[in-house]
Amino acid sequence: MVPILSLWLPILLSAVFVFIVSSIIHMVLPYHRTDWAKLPSEDGVMDALRPFNIPPGDYHMPHAGGLEETKSPEFQEKVKKGPVALMTVLPNGMPGMTKSLILWFVYSIVVSIFAAYIAGRALEPGEHYLTVFRFAGATAFIAYTVAGWQASIWYHRPWSTTIKNTFDGLVYALFTAGTFGWLWPS
């Protein structure tokens, strides 16, 4: 068993590597540019919604108050008539990246802490690089990707986006695994 505090360097360094790699993936590589589509008649839809002053949050429309309401003919007609939408409303203005980047880095540290915990409980000091790589990498892969699959299952996010995010998570997991394998205590 390896104490988690002795893994502070691979925890922090792997988070730094993931932060850098994710920045390159999202700022330089073009494959995420198609994750979101432009709404037809975007200006008209924005003009139509603006008077409602919708507060930031997640919305579903039409929205039923409960299971019984979903069975009513009125609600079923609304669904049939459409549009049916899941919508996240953000605060007005240009979204700031600073808070999101800080939270992403903290999240990457948390993922690395879990990787350190799992590998540290399963392995001894001086373990072979590939053994450490396997434990840390599998843990990081699960943390970076698997929970995201639910968005395609339940919220109809395109599977193409989920597959791209899964690929990103695999890259992050490989960097995490490599860092832990490299810096594993002897």
Residues 116-173 pLDDT 10s = 999 999 999 999 999 999 999 999 999 999 999 999 999 999 999 999 999 999 999 9
Q: What pLDDT, on the 0 to 100 scale, is given for residue 136?
A: 98
Judgement on whether residues 15 and 104 belong to the same structural domain of the protein: yes
Query: Comparing C-alpha atoms, which of 174, 178, 179 is closest to residue 145?
Result: 174
Both 108 and 165 in a single domain?
A: yes
Are 177 and 102 contained in the same domain?
yes
Same structural domain for residues 108 and 28? yes
Full residue range of the structural domain in which residue 109 is found: 4-36+95-183
Give the Cα separation of 69 and 155 in Å (integer): 20
Q: Do 32 and 59 sit in the same domain of this protein? A: no
pLDDT at position 65, please? 87
| One domain, residues 119 and 27 | yes
Are both 23 and 100 inside the same structural domain?
A: yes
Same-domain pairing of 60 and 113: no
What is the value of pTM for the model shown? 0.91
Q: Give the E-state strand segments of the chain in sequence order.
A: 57-61, 85-89
Calpha distance 72→62 (Å, rounded): 13
pLDDT tens-digit map of 46-91: 999 999 999 999 999 999 989 999 999 999 999 999 999 999 999 9
Place of tokens 């009513």: 72
Q: Same domain, yes or no, for 68 and 139? A: no
User: pLDDT band at residue 186, thresholds of 50, 70 and 90?
Assistant: very high
Is 175 in the same domain as 132? yes
Number of domains making up the chain: 2
Same domain, 83 and 129: no
